[in-house]
Amino acid sequence: MLKSEKNSHPLSQANFTQFNDDEGGVNLGQVGAVLRRRLLLIGGTTALVATAAVLKAETDPPVYQGTFDILTKPVTGEDKVIANIPQTINGQDVAAPESTKEVQTTIAVLRSPRVLNPIVEKLQAQYPDITYDSLVYYLVITSNKPNILNIQYTSSDQKFVSDVLKLLSDAYLQYSLQERRADVEQAIQFVDLQKQPLEKSLKYWQDQLRNLRLDNNLIEPAQKAQELSTQLASLRQQRVENRVQLEQMVASYEELQRELAQAPGERAGNSLLSDNARYQKILDQIQAADIAAKQQSAVFTDENPAMETLRQKKESLLPLLAQEEARVQKDYQSRIQQLSARDRSLDEKINNVYGEIRKLATISRNYDNIQRELQIANAALTQFTTKQQSLQIEKAQKQQPWVLLDPTLTKVNEPLAISDSAKRNLALGGLLGLLLGVGTALVVDKLSNIFYSSQELKDATRLPLLGIVPLRKELEAVTKDNFSKGVQNTDGASFFEVFRSLYTNILLLGSDTPIRSLVISSALQGDGKSTIATQLAQAAAAMGQRVLLVDANLRAPSLHNRVGLMNIQGLTDVISQDLDWHNVIEPSPLEDNMFVMPAGPIPPDSVRLLASQKMHNLMEELQVSFDLVIYDTPPLLGFADAYLLAANTDGLVLVAGLGKLKRTALQQALEQIQISGTPLLGLVANKSKDAVPVSYQYYQQYYRQSLSAERVSVDIASTNGKSSGMASTISKNPKR
């Protein structure tokens, strides 16, 4: 394979980030590891500081300490009276505990110059050297229980302590009374200022309500709306009834017109005209005259006077009948006009009521707004008036809000015993020494500039961490007996599983183009690169790969000792003497698929051999002949061997020995790798003292269980064999 082809591998392009020496955050796990490493330093510093504190306590003069307690929120008779009055400052929270923030604020005020300067002025008459700073320095105010302040003062002068406590108690009680009065007066002023705009607002909305009622001639919009609703319902009912009558009258009039269009003789059975008595009487007379004329026509001729008389009578009745028909028609028309006029009047009245209802909706909305604003103003004014009355009652109180729990204050504690002072100083000194020791340990560990954990290595380099190899004291002594076929101890097998995981991670890097060859090196000597190379080759061979381990460290070869072989011929002979490499490699006694090419004799110039074309050709042949070729090289710093070989492989695996590798050395090695363009596959953290990985623990547990089960099976088989043998012996020797 040509070099250009190797560099086209997707893993060959090194993607370095800037070496991060500052991890940019607090890692509690790393801090804990630092503290464990520097436990002796922390313990020594703590013991030294604590001893110094105890010695100082034994040489100090006797100290007197005085103390008194103040109840800051007592429940008195006056407080109970005020608590029953709504809207007081104390309200229902007279006995409520203070919050932490309120307590700290109160303590800060009690230690302020505003409260303590008058006490200093009084004390200076008898103690001229007293100042505010010296007074507040020995003054301790705490609150261990709700609403109770504990005041302590310490001095070597017992009388001075007593005088200070007396002045402090008086000053604090007076301060509580003044503060309450000041709060009440300030609250009264605030209430007075707030009442003025509320009174104006209340008067304004009262005037608006009065004007609204006068302008619209109403008392309550709801009552007016009810009246209009009732009136509208009545008018609508009347209109319905009137329209029914109108429709009936129009129908009757049309029926009358049809009757009048008929002959008089055909109208006799009609119901409309028959209801009219006058019309019906005239019609009866005409019909009677017709009947009489027909009867007389049988006796008399048409010229007979009797017939003439009957004809004249009928003719005289016909105008009367026509007049009565006209009168009936006019009566119907008049009634229809009346009903139509009434319908129009009802429509007009209904429209007027609708207009009043729409107008009333606007008035009602304005009325509700005024009522709402009036209620708000009235409620606010009532609240502030009640508040003002309660504040006046609260202002009249004369009792001090705070109470001394021990009013006598006649006794100051005896001087603190030396043993007590020593215990206190021991505790404080131990705490201070512990903090100082922890800080010193962190600083010393930071200045040591060494990687101690895999997380530090990963955070500092930002490079792929291919594997973490735990620290094992017996690692250097692992030989053929540890990993021979069929016999493996639990620790050796589980430790060997770490290298199988390492090889799996390397395989996953070359998902597109398989990794066939790699160089294993380290920044400096002693990081365990040769051991890692040997174990990795054995793990790959155990996983079915045909592996060749090449000792390319021509300056100080050591791989032959690790695998139990002789270093008679090797890489040096293949390059310098044109030996066939097949005659140089030897099968490893550690694994069947593993082969080793020793370094051979140490040449005078190893760089010349490794940079030769023969070496380049040899590496290509080896990569074609084996599934994986691993080259063990000298360290990176100070030697060019690893760079020359890595240029013809799929990449470089850098081994970092934790607890030994300095940050500057690793940074320099990474910079040289980046400058040379060497493909870097990733890092291997060796000799890790971190917690054993979970997978490592699971493998140990699983392997031990399997081994125990296998041993039990062997023991049972052995016992059964012995029993069978004994039974056979007994059968052959029955007497026995």
Q: Which domain holds residue 619?
A: 449-708
Q: With contact defined as beta carbons under 8 Å apart, do 527 and 533 qualify?
A: no
More reliable by pLDDT, 536 or 700: 536
Q: With contact defined as beta carbons under 8 Å apart, do 218 and 228 qualify?
A: no
- The tens digit of pLDDT for each residue in 571-588 reads 999 998 888 999 999 999
Q: With contact defined as beta carbons under 8 Å apart, do 509 and 515 qualify?
A: yes
- The tens digit of pLDDT for each residue in 132-185 reads 998 888 899 988 888 888 888 888 788 888 888 888 888 888 888 777 777 777
Residues 6+ apart with CB under 8 A from 414: 64
Task: Quickly count: other Cβ atoms within 10 Å of residue 69's Cβ.
Answer: 15
- The tens digit of pLDDT for each residue in 443-460 reads 776 666 777 777 778 878
Highest mean pLDDT pick, 2-16, 90-104, 346-360, 439-453: 346-360
pLDDT for position 417: 45
Q: Are residues 327 and 464 in the same domain?
A: no
Q: Are residues 231 and 331 in the same domain?
A: yes
**Cα 357 to Cα 218, 347, 418, 432, 511, distances in angstroms:** 13, 15, 96, 86, 86
pLDDT for position 95: 38
Inform me whether the pLDDT recorded for 509 exceeds 50.
yes
Inform me whether the pLDDT recorded for 92 exceeds 50.
no
Q: Are residues 323 and 376 in the same domain?
A: yes
- The tens digit of pLDDT for each residue in 249-283 reads 888 888 777 777 776 656 555 556 666 777 777 77
Instruction: Indicate the range of 181-190, 515-524, 525-534, 582-591 predicted with least confidence.
Output: 181-190
> Amino acid identity, residue 262?
Q
Q: With contact defined as beta carbons under 8 Å apart, do 609 and 576 qualify?
A: yes
pLDDT for position 728: 38
Q: Are residues 168 and 282 in the same domain?
A: no
Instruction: Indicate the range of 269-283, 507-521, 533-547, 671-685 predicted with least confidence.
Output: 269-283
pLDDT for position 49: 79
Residue 667 tokens, joined: 């940074």
In angstroms, the CA 333 to CA 349 distance is: 24
Q: Are residues 414 and 459 in the same domain?
A: no
pLDDT for position 353: 86
- Average pLDDT on 15-42 reads 61
Q: What is the CATH number of the domain that holds 637?
A: 3.40.50.300
Q: Are residues 358 and 248 in the same domain?
A: yes
Domain assignment present for 7: no
pLDDT for position 541: 92
Instruction: Indicate the range of 44-48, 463-467, 690-694 predicted with least confidence.
Output: 690-694
pLDDT for position 1: 42
H or E segment to which residue 594 belongs: strand 594-597
| Furthest CA-CA distance within the chain | 187
- The tens digit of pLDDT for each residue in 483-492 reads 344 334 445 5
3-state SS string for 210-265: HHHHHHHCCCCHHHHHHHHHHHHHHHHHHHHHHHHHHHHHHHHHHHHHHHHCCCHH
Residue 266 tokens, joined: 């055909």
pLDDT for position 550: 94
- Average pLDDT on 30-52 reads 75
Pick from 654, 456, 444: which is nearest to 22 by CA? 456
Domain assignment present for 582: yes
pLDDT for position 572: 92
pLDDT band at residue 724, thresholds of 50, 70 and 90? very low
Domain assignment present for 734: no
- Calculate the average pLDDT of the chain: 76
- Average pLDDT on 72-88 reads 51
In angstroms, the CA 310 to CA 298 distance is: 14
Domain assignment present for 284: yes
Q: Are residues 292 and 383 in the same domain?
A: yes
DSSP bridge partners of 597: 550
Q: Are residues 474 and 344 in the same domain?
A: no
Q: Are residues 422 and 478 in the same domain?
A: no
- Average pLDDT on 709-723 reads 43
pLDDT band at residue 718, thresholds of 50, 70 and 90? very low
Domain assignment present for 27: no
Inform me whether the pLDDT recorded for 723 exceeds 50.
no
Pick from 660, 673, 637: which is nearest to 463 by CA? 673
Q: Are residues 606 and 675 in the same domain?
A: yes
Q: Are residues 355 and 419 in the same domain?
A: no
pLDDT for position 405: 78
Task: Quickly count: other Cβ atoms within 10 Å of residue 218's Cβ.
Answer: 18
Domain assignment present for 327: yes
403-404, strands of its sheet edge to edge: 139-145, 148-155, 64-71, 403-404
Question: 56: which DSSP letter?
Answer: H
Q: Which residues of 572-581 are buried (b: 16+ CB within 10 A; e: fewer)?
A: bbbbeeebeb
> Amino acid identity, residue 563?
V
pLDDT band at residue 504, thresholds of 50, 70 and 90? confident
pLDDT for position 537: 92
In angstroms, the CA 29 to CA 716 distance is: 48
Kindly report the backbone phi and psi dihedral angles of residue 155, in degrees, each rounded to the nearest multiple of 5, phi listed first.
Answer: -160, 165
pLDDT for position 380: 83
Highest mean pLDDT pick, 348-352, 435-439, 595-599: 595-599
Instruction: Indicate the range of 367-381, 398-412, 536-550 predicted with least confidence.
Output: 398-412
Residues 6+ apart with CB under 8 A from 177: 400, 401
Domain assignment present for 431: no
Domain assignment present for 646: yes
- Average pLDDT on 541-554 reads 92
> What is the domain count for the chain?
3
Q: With contact defined as beta carbons under 8 Å apart, do 635 and 530 qualify?
A: no
Q: Are residues 623 and 690 in the same domain?
A: yes
Inform me whether the pLDDT recorded for 721 exceeds 50.
no
Determine what percent of the chain is predicted with pLDDT higher than 70. 74
Burial zone of 302 (CB within 10 Å; 0-12 exposed, 13-18 middle, 19+ buried): exposed
In angstroms, the CA 346 to CA 128 distance is: 106
pLDDT band at residue 534, thresholds of 50, 70 and 90? very high
